[in-house]
């Protein structure tokens, strides 16, 4: 006699904790939280198998608001904590929630090595180009010349570009979305969750108190068709209100062209998110609005590669098979020992 059990059908409300959400009214974090709650019930993963780990910052309050397991960890160290958890508990779905300050400043080293190892984690980086929790200092993604409380004469640091860093570390899944583009954001989060390996998602998120309008060009309904380009695998890079503009390569450089003036779709660059070589994905990540290009959103790269957590556990299993289960007490008392009095 067999007993079949089915998972309960979960709804977005089932993933909401009993904690009051304490972000500033109008913050873009609310939208990301809402889309996450909508996506999780579609994945078929029990709540007790989902973990959210964050560092320090406004975004890092995220685990409090999810009715799952979670940990509000150390500044910049969420990827390291998550790597340890996923390695010990490969059955869990682990999300890392970070921001442009937490993830790219004090946490830059941890983020880089997590990505290159291809640990099976989903990393969501909220990019608002400012330190919000500490009340408005410039961050690693703030534009050159940005005037803030800590740069009253303008920032003199060249900004980091999160996707360029991720692709440079050969991340196996790289994507970008916008907090107000809710359907697109939900689709990207779902695809990231389904990927095996490190999924890196940058979200353009508005801090309406300390850096309001940082991404307005990519959100405004009158401009977004000309300032963003939605990536679709296997399709040409076309954008614009009338879908009359495209991106083609001129040597090794991208350029904006108009269709219909001796140029057709076959002349354009076609998107291949599955290309093993990341060079074209990196090229797309360098396209900037301020340089006259539309900024791509969607999935830049989605490839399969060996995973650190999987290989580590395979080595442990082989070692146990060859040498038997270890004895920690025996190890501590083996070889040379000494007594400290």
Is residue 2 a part of any domain in this protein?
no
213 shares its domain with 304: yes
Co-location of 57 and 121 in the same domain: yes
Tell me what pLDDT residue 2 has: 56
91 and 127 both lie in a single domain: yes
From first to last of its 341 residues, the chain has per-residue pLDDT tens of: 555 566 678 999 999 999 999 999 999 999 999 999 999 999 999 999 999 999 999 999 999 999 999 999 999 999 999 999 999 999 999 999 999 999 999 999 999 999 999 999 999 999 999 999 999 999 999 999 999 999 999 999 999 999 999 999 999 999 999 999 999 999 999 999 999 999 999 999 999 999 999 999 999 999 999 999 999 999 999 999 999 999 999 999 999 999 997 999 999 999 999 999 999 999 999 999 999 999 999 999 999 999 999 999 999 999 999 999 989 888 888 888 778 87
**pLDDT (0 to 100) of residue 332:** 84
Q: Are residues 117 and 252 in the same domain?
A: no
75: in domain: yes
- Confidence (pLDDT) at 244: 95
As a three-state string, the secondary structure of the chain is CCCCCCCCCCCHHHHECCCCCCCCCCCCHHHHHHHHHHHHHHCCCCHHHEEEEECCCCHHHHHHHECCEEEECCCCCHHHHHHHHHHHCCCCEEEEEEEHHHHHHHCHHHHHHHHHHCCCCEEEEEECCCECCCCCECCCCCCCCCCCCCCCCCCCCCCCCHHHHHHHCCCCEEEEEECCCHHHHHHHHHHHHHCCCCEEEEEECCCCCCCCCCCHHHHCCCCHHHHEEECCCCCECEECCCCCEEEEEECCEEEEEECCCCCCHHHCCECCCCCCCCHHHHHHHCCCHHHCCCEEEEEEEECCCCCHHHHHHHHHHHHHHHHCCCCHHHHHCCCCCCCCC
Q: Does residue 320 lie within any of the structural domains?
A: no
| Domain identity same for 113 and 66 | yes
Task: Give the CATH number of the domain where residue 143 resides.
Answer: 3.40.50.970
Q: What is the pLDDT of residue 250?
A: 95
Residue 104 and residue 57 share a domain: yes
pLDDT score recorded for residue 9: 86
- pTM (two decimals): 0.94
- Write down the pLDDT at residue 288: 96
Identify whether 3 is part of a domain: no
Q: Which residues form the domain of 36? A: 12-235+271-312
Domain count, the chain: 2
């Amino acid at each position: 006699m067999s007993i079949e059990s089915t998972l309960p059908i979960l709804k977005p409300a089932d993933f909401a904790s009993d904690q009051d959400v304490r972000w500033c009214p109008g913050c873009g974090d609310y939208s990301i939280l809402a889309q996450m709650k909508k996506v999780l019930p579609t994945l078929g993963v029990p709540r007790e198998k989902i973990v959210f780990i964050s560092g320090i910052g406004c975004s890092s309050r995220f685990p409090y608001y999810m009715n799952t397991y979670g940990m509000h960890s150390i500044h910049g160290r969420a990827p390291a904590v998550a790597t340890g958890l996923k390695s010990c508990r490969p059955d869990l779905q682990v999300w890392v929630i970070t921001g442009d300050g937490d993830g790219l400043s004090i946490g830059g080293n941890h983020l880089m090595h997590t990505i290159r190892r291809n640990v099976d984690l989903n990393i969501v980086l909220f990019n608002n180009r400012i330190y919000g929790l500490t009340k408005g200092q410039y961050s690693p993604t703030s534009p050159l010349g940005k005037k803030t409380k800590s740069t009253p004469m303008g920032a003199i640091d060249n900004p980091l570009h999160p996707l360029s860093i991720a692709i440079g570390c050969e991340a196996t899944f790289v994507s970008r979305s916008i907090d107000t583009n809710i359907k697109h954001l939900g689709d990207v989060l779902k695809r990231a969750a389904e990927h095996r390996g490190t999924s890196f998602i940058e979200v353009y998120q508005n801090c309406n108190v300390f850096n309001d309008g940082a991404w307005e060009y990519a959100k405004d309904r009158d401009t977004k068709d000309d300032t963003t380009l939605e990536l679709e695998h296997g399709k040409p890079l076309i954008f614009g209100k009338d879908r009359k503009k495209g991106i083609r390569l001129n040597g090794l450089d991208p350029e904006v062209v108009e269709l219909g003036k001796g140029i057709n779709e076959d002349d354009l660059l076609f998107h291949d998110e599955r290309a093993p070589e990341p060079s074209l994905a990196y090229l797309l990540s360098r396209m900037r609005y301020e340089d006259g290009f539309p900024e791509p959103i969607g999935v830049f790269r989605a490839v399969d590669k060996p995973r650190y957590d999987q290989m580590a556990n395979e080595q442990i299993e082989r070692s146990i098979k060859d040498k038997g289960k270890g004895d920690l007490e025996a190890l501590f008392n083996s070889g040379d020992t000494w007594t400290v009095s």
